[in-house]
Amino acid sequence: MGSSTKKKKEKQKDFQKPKLKVGKTKAKPSNFTDTSFKSKSIVLHEQLKEDAPDVLERFKHHLSLLTSRTDSQRRDALAYLTGQLSTTPPFNPVGTPTLLSKLLPLMTDATGSVRNQLIKLLRAIPAPEIRSEVEKIMRYIRGAMTHISQEIKDDGLNYLEWLLEVAGDQVVESAGCWVKPLKDFTSILGWTTYIKPKTTGPTPGKGGWTSAPRTTFGAKKYGASYPRQMSVVAKFLECGFKRPEPVPWDAGQWFRNFSHLPTTPDPYGYLGLFAAPRDEDGRMYRDREDRQAVFYRDFYEAFRKGVEEAKKEGGMAGRSAAQLDKALKDGMGDYEDTKRYDENKGLWEGYLM
């Protein structure tokens, strides 16, 4: 009797619904397989074959990935190209002009990791191959320096600092690479209010809030950008005002120079013989005296007042302002129009001396 009752209870267990406690999940069966994971897909413009393509095809393939919509692909492609250019000798089968045409648009890329990898790749390009492309590179650098995003602006300073290191003389001597960058700097520094208005033409209107001096902004997030901008413009002025090294007179070398090929790109471009006439901002200023003259006329007073205001802030801004002040003194101290005669001392003294 007892055994039959026990069997009935065991059979009823199969049809009883277990009572679950509130908040407690149902126990998983022993043969449960977790399928909640997701796999990431990798999309390639052109799938590489498994029969080991040559290095040239791999280089071109990664070069094509620079226009990919995926930021990780653009970053990884830049890393691969950096490795190829870092070899001895550098491997660049497409040439520097073609490579730069793909790289320069990435200066304003929205992803910070892509821009960081780009500057590493630019530093891997040999300096002699950069000097002939300075004018084109500066157009993209100016676009990055004046971008609406502050992060891209800061990276634009990194690009300019790199270019000054590898081709500083060519930068300040190229067409449109002296006056236009100085206008960009006065704009991003907030020193446009210090620029003297032109005596000819319509009367300039009053500036809005964007024309206020940068020292009055007091932004916490981008407070380090202001000293950084003054530091880079000081290096730019040092390249522009650098005195040429004296060359000893050699009559034989003087005559031989007439038969030698020029060592600078477009050596007679400043004459404008075979190009459309340029405006004053787009001209070449290959002589130090010419650069001093246009700087004194259009920017000297703005930089002088801006440096004075920045010095009052102290800290990082004050130290960068002192560096910029030294660049102004060394570069413009011997310019005649910046000097005045002190009757008490009987000497000519510069305004910033």
What is the sign, positive or negative, of the torsion defined by CA atoms of 316, 317, 320, 322? negative
Q: What is the pLDDT of residue 138?
A: 96
Q: Is 201 left (phi over 0), alpha (psi -120 to 50) or beta?
A: left
Q: What is the pLDDT of residue 264?
A: 61
Closest CA to 322 of 347, 286, 352, 283: 352
Closest CA to 307 of 332, 331, 324: 324
Mean pLDDT by 10 residues, the chain (353 residues): 74 72 73 74 58 79 93 95 91 93 96 96 94 94 94 95 94 92 94 71 42 43 80 95 73 61 62 64 87 93 93 90 94 74 45 40
Q: What is the pLDDT of residue 257?
A: 63
Alpha carbons 112 and 151: distance in angstroms, whole number: 8
| Both structure tokens of 342 | 């002190």
Q: What is the pLDDT of residue 345?
A: 45
Quick: pLDDT tens for 287-299: 899 999 999 999 9
Q: What is the pLDDT of residue 204?
A: 44
CA distances from 277 to 9, 221, 235, 288 (A): 105, 44, 30, 22
| Both structure tokens of 276 | 């459309």
Domains within the chain, CATH numbers bracketed: 54-125 (1.25.10), 134-196+223-244+277-338 (no CATH)
